[in-house]
Structure 1
């Protein structure tokens, strides 16, 4: 499971190394939403189910690439 959050954090923050602690649930939902196309403006509210689903699919691809790249 660590591979999943580390790959999403690295993609969301555009950094090469993830932070040592996993994000909170609210931060993780917004990060996954951003992967699915959620813009996240002040008036946008929370990501919807379709955007969240797209984000989960993108996250799964990122985690697979992370495993291959890191050799996990």
Structure 2
């Protein structure tokens, strides 16, 4: 039985074309977190029940998750 040849070594490493810098992404997440926190504080101050706020955030997270999967 003849021996199998080893695969040829990869000659070139291909990098993704559009890679966002990590610092930019972290900054965007921090900004989003701050805006959500400000909105929650404003809603609590306005008298909206905390359970309603949690329900709205959970529904939004579910919708975004379904959009990523689809």
Per the normalisation by structure 2, the TM-score is: 0.39
Relative contact order, higher structure (CA 8 A, sep 6+): 1
Per the normalisation by structure 1, the TM-score is: 0.38
Larger radius of gyration: 2
